[in-house]
């Protein structure tokens, strides 16, 4: 019996997730676009910068009072209180930057905020170790790999690409090279880039148009991808692989002898 993890939630062979930083004013328009096309995003916010408007030092930010409703159905995530380089701060400040951002964002979101992205994309081993100690579950870098593999370590979650390269990679995403994996298309950027350097909204609209509405893609937030990955890793198999217990609250889809099999949440499933 050949068992492999080949599907995401709902038996979808592929997944797409979007990741946007800093909470600029242009997020209003970006979220509207994602909602129109059924695409899910994660928004990494600096709690102290919300409401701020001192352009051009900082592009105008979204209003704190709007954040909960705006990002509904998407994910709110940490980006530190002050958008600081986490390699350069002492331990006290580190805890403040991460945990106080988490707390402030949880007050807005109304759910545990569990992930983040690195301000400026900066991190090192110490930063990662500190985040592990603080139980941060993932953190996105800015190191695009132009590929579709899942991360080895979610605290160095390298994205597929910046949104400027996303359109060009759709055909590669659909190539047979990625038939046997669980390919994840992970796009990152800042929504102000669509306005501040000339009108580039067509870049993201064209991408959304071409990648949306497909039965073979799970449109998910960053944390939904992490949760599903954890559910797959936490499956408990019997020694002879004839049974599997899924202790998570997520149904997992396996590929068994080239057939999709659902392993329901909280249940033991016989595989023979
Ligand atoms: Zn940033």
pLDDT tens, position by position, 164-188: 999 999 999 999 888 777 999 999 9
Q: CB–CB of 98/115 below 8 Å?
A: no
Ligand 1 centroid to residue 19 C-alpha, Å: 11
Regarding whether 192 and 119 lie in a shared domain, the answer is yes
242 and 203 part of one domain: no
Whether 157 and 197 share a structural domain: yes
Q: Rounded to the nearest whole angstrom, what is the distance from the C-alpha of residue 153 to the centroid of ligand 1?
A: 21
In a domain, 104, yes or no: yes
- Which residues form the domain of 22? 13-230
How many whole angstroms from 6 Cα to the centroid of ligand 1?
Answer: 33
171 lies in the same domain as 253: no
Locus of tokens 């991460």: 98
135: in domain: yes
CA of 186 to the centre of ligand 1 (A): 17
CA 243–ligand 1 middle distance (angstroms): 45
- pLDDT for residue 179: 75
The stretch 34-54 carries a mean pLDDT of 92
**CA 15–ligand 1 middle distance (angstroms):** 24
Give distance in angstroms: CA of 189 to centre of ligand 1. 9
145 with 58, same domain: the answer is yes
Distance from residue 84's CA to the centre of ligand 1 (Å): 9
Ligand 1 centroid–CA 161 distance in Å is: 16
Say whether both 152 and 248 belong to one domain: no
Residue 10 predicted with pLDDT over 90: yes
The token pair that represents 248 in the structure block: 């998570």
Residues 32 and 161 in one domain: yes
- What pLDDT, on the 0 to 100 scale, is given for residue 54? 67
Cα–Cα nearest to 40, from 73, 7, 66? 73
Tell me the CA–centroid distance for residue 118 and ligand 1, in Å: 7
Instruction: State the residue for tokens 């995401």.
Output: 8
One-letter-per-residue 3-state SS of the chain: CCEECCCEHHHECEEEEEEEECCECCHHHHHHHHHHHCCCEEEEECCCCCCCCCCCCCCCECCHHHHHHHCCCCEEEECCCCCCCHHHCCHHHHHHHHHHHHHHHHHHHCCCCCEEECHHHCCCHHHHHHHHHCCCCEEECCCCCCCCCCCCCHHHECCCEEHHHHHHHHHHHCCHHHCCCCCEEEEEECCCHHHHCECCHHHHHHHHHHHCCCCCEEECCHHHHHHHHHHHHCCEECCCCCEEECCCCCCEEEEECCEEEEECCCCEEECC
pLDDT tens digit sequence for 203-226: 999 999 999 999 999 999 999 999
The reply to whether 143 falls in a domain is yes
pTM of the predicted structure, to 2 decimals: 0.95
- Residue 267 CA to residue 68 CA, distance in Å, equals 34
At 132-154, the pLDDT tens digits run: 999 999 999 999 999 999 999 99
In terms of domains, do 156 and 257 share one? no
Residues 6+ apart with CB under 8 A from 177: none
Q: Are 54 and 176 found together in one domain?
A: yes
Rounded Cα gap, residues 108 and 89, in angstroms: 26
Task: Please indicate, yes or no, if residue 158 is contained in any of the structural domains.
Answer: yes
Report the separation in Å between the CA atom of 119 and the middle of ligand 1, taken as the mean of its atom positions.
4
Q: Count of domains in the chain?
A: 2
User: 95 alpha carbon to ligand 1 midpoint, in Å?
Assistant: 18
How many Cα neighbours within 13 Å face the side chain of 7? 20
Residue whose pair of structure tokens reads 């590669």 in the numeric block: 172
Using the mean position of ligand 1's atoms as its centre, give its distance from the Cα of residue 21 in Å: 5
| 6 assigned to some structural domain | no
pLDDT digits (tens, 9 = 90+) for 67-93: 999 999 999 999 999 999 999 999 999
- Backbone phi and psi for residue 100, each to the nearest 5 degrees, phi listed first: -75, -30
Mean pLDDT over 23-51 rounds to 96
Let me know whether 189 and 258 are in one domain.
no
Per the DSSP assignment, residues forming a β-bridge with 217 are: 14
Q: For the residues 11-37, what does the mean pLDDT come to?
A: 97
Q: Is residue 59 predicted with pLDDT exceeding 90?
A: no
Interval between CA 150 and ligand 1 midpoint (Å)? 23
CA–centroid distance, residue 22 to ligand 1 (Å): 5
Residue 57's pLDDT band, with cuts at 50, 70 and 90, is: low
Shared-domain flag, residues 146 and 259: no
Residues 259 and 215 in one domain: no
Residue 249 domain-assigned (yes or no): yes
CATH of the domain at 72: 3.20.20.370
The Cα 226–Cα 249 span in angstroms is 13
The verdict on residue 26 lying in a domain is yes
Asked whether residue 55 carries a pLDDT value surpassing 80, the answer given is no
């Amino acid at each position: 019996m050949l068992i492999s993890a080949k599907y995401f939630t709902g038996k979808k062979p592929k997944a797409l997730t979007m990741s946007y930083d800093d909470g600029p004013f242009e997020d209003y328009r970006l979220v509207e676009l994602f909602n129109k096309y059924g695409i899910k995003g994660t928004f990494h916010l600096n709690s102290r910068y919300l409401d701020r408007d001192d352009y051009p030092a900082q592009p105008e930010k979204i209003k704190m009072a709007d954040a909960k409703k705006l990002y509904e159905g998407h994910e709110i995530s940490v980006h530190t209180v002050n958008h600081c380089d986490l390699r350069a701060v002492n331990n006290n400040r580190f805890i403040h930057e991460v945990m106080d951002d988490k707390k402030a964002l949880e007050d807005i979101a109304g759910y545990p905020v569990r992930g983040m992205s690195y301000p400026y994309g900066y991190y090192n081993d110490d930063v990662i170790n500190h985040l592990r100690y603080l139980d941060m579950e993932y953190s996105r870098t800015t190191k695009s790999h132009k590929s579709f593999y899942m991360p080895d370590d979610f605290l160095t979650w390298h994205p597929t690409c910046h949104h400027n390269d996303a359109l060009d990679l759709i055909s590669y995403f659909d190539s047979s090279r990625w038939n046997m994996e669980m390919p994840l298309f992970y796009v990152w950027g800042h929504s102000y880039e669509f306005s501040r350097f000339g009108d580039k909204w067509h870049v993201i609209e064209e991408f959304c148009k071409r990648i949306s509405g497909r039965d073979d893609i799970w449109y998910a937030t960053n944390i939904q991808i992490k949760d599903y990955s954890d559910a797959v890793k936490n499956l408990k198999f019997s020694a002879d692989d004839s049974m599997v217990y899924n202790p998570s609250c997520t149904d997992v889809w396996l590929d068994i002898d080239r057939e999709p099999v659902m392993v329901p949440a909280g249940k033991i499933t016989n595989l023979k």
